[in-house]
Structure 1
Amino acid sequence: MPRHSTPDAPLPQAVGSTPLDPRPLHSVPVRLVVARCQVDYAGRLTAHLPMATRVLMIKADGSVLVHSDGGSYKPLNWMSPPCTLREGTTDDGQVEWTVTARSTAKGPEDTLRILIEEILHETTHHLGVDPGLQKDGVEKHLQELLAEHPATLAEGLSLVRREFPTAIGPVDLMCRDAGGLSVAVEIKRRGEIDGVEQLTRYLELLNRDPALTRRGAVRGIFAAQEIKPQARVLATDRGIACAVVDYDALRGIDDSEHRLF
Structure 2
Amino acid sequence: MTAHLPMATRVLMLKADGSVLVHSDGGSYKPLNWMSPPCTVREGEDEDGRVEWTVTAKAPKGQAPDTLRILIEEMFHDSSHHLGIDPGLQKDGVEKHLQELLAEHPATLSAGLTLVRREFPTAIGPVDLMCRDGDGLSVAVEIKRRGEIDGVEQLTRYLELLNRDPLLTGKGAVRGIFAAQEIKPQARVLAEDRGIACAVVDYDALRGLDNAEDRLF
Structure 2 distance, partners of 1:252, 1:166, is 32
Taking the TM superposition and a 5 Å limit, the aligned residue runs for 1:9-158 are: 138-158=94-114
Q: Which runs of 5+ in 1 are unaligned?
A: 1-134, 255-261
Which of 216, 228, 251 is matched with 2:207 structurally? 251
Partner of 2:170: 214
Q: Does 1:166 align with 2:122?
A: yes
**Where in structure 2 are there 5+ consecutive unaligned residues?**
1-90, 211-217
Deviation at 1:152, TM superposition (A): 0.1
> Could you list the per-position Cα deviations for residues 23-71 of structure 1 after superposition, in whole angstroms to 9, with x for gaps in the alignment?
xxxxxxxxxxxxxxxxxxxxxxxxxxxxxxxxxxxxxxxxxxxxxxxxx
Q: Are residues 253 and 220 of structure 1, via their aligned partners in 2, closer, same or farther at CA, if it must alter by over 3 Å?
A: farther
What count of residue pairs does the alignment treat as equivalent? 121
Q: 1:213 to 1:144 in 2, by over 3 A?
A: same
- SS of the residue corresponding to residue 156 of structure 2 reads helix
Q: Percent identity?
A: 92
The structure showing larger relative contact order (alpha-carbon pairs under 8 Å, at least 6 residues apart) is 1
What's 2:193 paired with? 237
| 1:71-99 deviation line (CA, Å, top 9, x unaligned) | xxxxxxxxxxxxxxxxxxxxxxxxxxxxx
CA contact (8 A) 2:137 2:171 kept: yes
CA gap 1:189/1:183 in 2 versus in 1, 3 angstroms: same
More strand by share: 1
CA RMSD of aligned residues (A): 2.0
Which amino acid is 1:180 matched to?
G
Name the aligned partner's letter for residue 186 of structure 1. E
Aligned partners of 2:158, 2:202: CA distance in 1, in Å? 25
Q: Where has structure 1 moved over 3 Å in runs of 4 or more? A: none
Equivalent residue number for residue 132 of structure 2: 176
CA distance in 2 between counterparts of 1:250 and 1:152 reads: 8
Deviations 1:137-159 (A, max 9, x none): 62111100000000000000000
TM score, norm. by length of structure 1 = 0.45
1: CA distance, partners of 2:209 / 2:132: 21
Q: Quick one: distance in 2 between partners of 1:182 and 1:253?
A: 30
> Counterpart amino acid of 1:215?
K
Residues in 1 aligned to 2:102 and 2:129: alpha-carbon distance in whole angstroms: 8
Instruction: Check 1:205–1:136 CA distance in 2 against 1; reply closer, same or farther (3 A cut).
Output: farther
